[in-house]
Structure 1
Amino acid sequence: MAAHSGRRQNIANTRPLELMTRSGGSLLLPRAYAELLDCWEQVTEDLVVQARTCSRCRAQGPRWGAWRTPSPLGYVTLCPPCSGATFQRYTGHLRGVLYESARTRSTRADGYLCRLCSEARAAAWDHCHDHGHVRGPLCGSCNTYEGKSLPQSFLTNQEGAALHLLECRGCLERRTLPARYHAALARMHVEATERHIIRSRRCKHMPWIEHVELAHGAYRFELSCWWHKATWTKDVTVAETAGLVREFVDQALAAEQAGAAVPAPRRPASDTTVQA
């Protein structure tokens, strides 16, 4: 970070000192200060190596600590195979149990492996906020991803996302997903099906969704096509969205039985187009 003087710098979080001198086209530092910076760099590198080394088998993991997992004595580094051998795998024994129940409070989540990534120690019991049922133990990263990420991102990028959400007995019995995922499925449907007409032909490009709002019993999407400068709207009613959600759930459950990936939402028989 530059200070008030051209020669005053903050290097390696040390206090700004007037240490630099110019010699021709070069900037020089005192030898002792340069050695201090070299020492700081080596200590930092040693800490990175320590943080990425599995504490059991000594395997080297990703540089940025993806294998770090909390323990009662602080954070430790465990590779996925060692985590799998150390922590229990969740078998659904709390399925249908309410998150606020005494049974959940008496069972620690950190004794289990995260049921989504299957690589890290679980940190908390994830639960459905709509119905209150436990879904399973998740590590801090996966738990945050489910709760804070865009619903569409979680459904499309996280393997096993739909089946994890259906660990909630309320969602499973009603063949639905939490309400925050409904608009996401309607959006996925619109992106997959909606195109405008240009010169009597259906545009081949996926539209850009500028805005979506829920009003008068329908999700209204404002769409645009960057290639043809076209704009239009598409309404997906709440009832239609509920049907899309149920179809998505049924496909996820059928794919689980068949051992296949969850398919994308299917194109309906009709869609709305506009003249550009």
Structure 2
Amino acid sequence: MAAHSGRRQSIANTRPLELMTRSGGSLLLPRAYTELLDRWEQVTEDLVTRARICNRCRAQGPRWGAWRTPTPLGYVTLCPPCSGATFQRYTGRLRGVLYESARTRSTRADGYLCRLCSEARAAVWDHCHDHGHVRGPLCGSCNTYEGKSTAHSFLQDKEGAALHLLECRGCLERHTLPARYPAALARMHVEATERHIICTRRCRHVPWIEHVELAHGAYRFSLSCWWHKATWTKDVTVAETAALVREFVDQALAAEQAGAVVPAPRRPAPETTLQA
């Protein structure tokens, strides 16, 4: 057992024992302790493996507990098909209802499947902070992602994100999105369309957005191209941003009415056409 500043340090949370000895640059542990640590490692691995197995169909899931879901009796592991068969899918039961209403408080979210991932049991009622209306039941992971991730990441990475946000009656009636999303749509528009010019040719690289600020009725984006050491700014007015939001909402609703899966907005392939 090594000594430091008059205090003994433990290894792998084992208790200090006088039987520990040092031989040259090595610290020797008693055989009983090494066997105990080996057994502890094996038990931990066995528990992780068991936690990956669906409690119903016995399918093996991802290592880090993506299939784990809470129940009144504790956590269980359910694969997406078994979750879908166990919990009911949300069909708009509380659409238009205020989050603070008695009706919401009397309806449990954990009886539903998560509206976004459709894989885990819901844990909470997600709601629009701008208008106060319920949007739907979400699992803890999706609810955290919507609230803590950047707005453009949520729109780009979560399939069905747009329609989920439009479950709010206020957003749907106004054909708008919550306050933090217009800037995200303006950003995605800039990333998709803005390129600097190199010898009459558009750069093929997506610019890096260093900073954005809202001033004088416009979102001003500070952009840079690492490949060509170029920096510049691009303004998107509030009116232009509102038009982008309305177009985005209209496309999402049109796709829903057509019965198509609403794709997450992605960056298009960069253009390489010559500029006059």
Output the TM-score relative to the length of structure 1. Answer: 0.88
- 1:14–1:265 CA distance, 2 compared to 1 (3 A): closer
Pairing 1:91-240 to 2, within 5 Å after superposition = 91-240=91-240
Per the alignment, residue 76 of structure 1 pairs with 76
State which drifts further: 72-81 or 33-42: 72-81
Q: How many residues align?
A: 264
Matched with 2:274 is none
The one-letter code matched in structure 2 to 1:262 is P
- Structure 1 stretch displaced more, 22-31 or 174-183: 22-31
Stretch deviating more after TM superposition (39-48 or 8-17): 8-17
Residues 81, 18 of structure 1: alpha-carbon distance in 2 compared, 3 angstrom cutoff: farther
1:34-88: per-residue Cα shift (whole Å, max 9, x none)?
Answer: 0110111122112212221222222221111111111112211111111111111
Identity, % of aligned pairs? 88
Per-residue deviation at 1:25?
A: 7.8
Amino acid at match of 1:69: T
Paired with 2:77 and 2:113, the residues of 1 have a C-alpha distance of 14
Q: CA deviation at 1:12?
A: 3.1
List alignment gaps of at least 5 residues for structure 1: 268-276
Q: Residues 11 and 77 of structure 1: is their aligned pair in 2 closer, same or farther, counting only changes over 3 Å?
A: farther
Indicate conservation of the 8 Å contact 2:186/2:236, yes or no. yes
Q: Is the 8 A contact 1:252 1:263 kept in 2?
A: no
- 2:271 aligns with none
- Residue 60 of structure 1: aligned partner: 60
Alpha-carbon contact 1:122-1:139 (below 8 Å) kept: yes
Q: Check the 8 A contact 2:51/2:65 in 1, yes or no.
A: yes
Q: Is the 8 A contact 1:244 1:265 kept in 2?
A: no
Instruction: Describe the superposition over 1:177-221 as per-residue Cα deviations: whole angstroms up to 9, x where unpaired.
Output: 111111110000001111111212222211111100111211110
Alignment partners' CA distance in 1, 2:132 and 2:169: 9
* Separation in structure 1 between the aligned mates of residue 238 and residue 142 of structure 2, nearest angstrom: 29
Contact 2:155 2:264 in 1 (8 A): no
The 3-state SS of whatever aligns with 1:75 is: strand
Equivalent position amino acid for 1:80 in 2: P
Q: Deviations over 1:153-173 (max 9, x none)?
A: 110011111111111111111
1:60 & 1:9 partners in 2: Cα distance?
Answer: 40
Which structure carries more relative contact order (alpha carbon 8 Å, separation 6+)?
2
Unaligned runs of 5+ in 2: 269-276
Please, what is the CA RMSD of the aligned residues?
Answer: 2.2
Q: Which residue of 1 aligns with 2:263?
A: 262
Secondary structure in structure 2 of the residue aligned to 1:84: helix
Contact kept? 1:3, 1:10, Cα under 8 Å: no
Report the 3-state secondary structure (helix = DSSP H, G, I; strand = E; otherwise coil) of the residue aligned with 2:4.
coil
Whole-angstrom distance in 1 between the partners of 2:264 and 2:143: 24
Alignment partners' CA distance in 2, 1:53 and 1:266: 37
1:14 aligns with 2:20: no
Shift of 1:92: 0.7
Partner-residue secondary structure (3-state), 1:180: coil
TM-superposed deviation, 1:20: 5.3
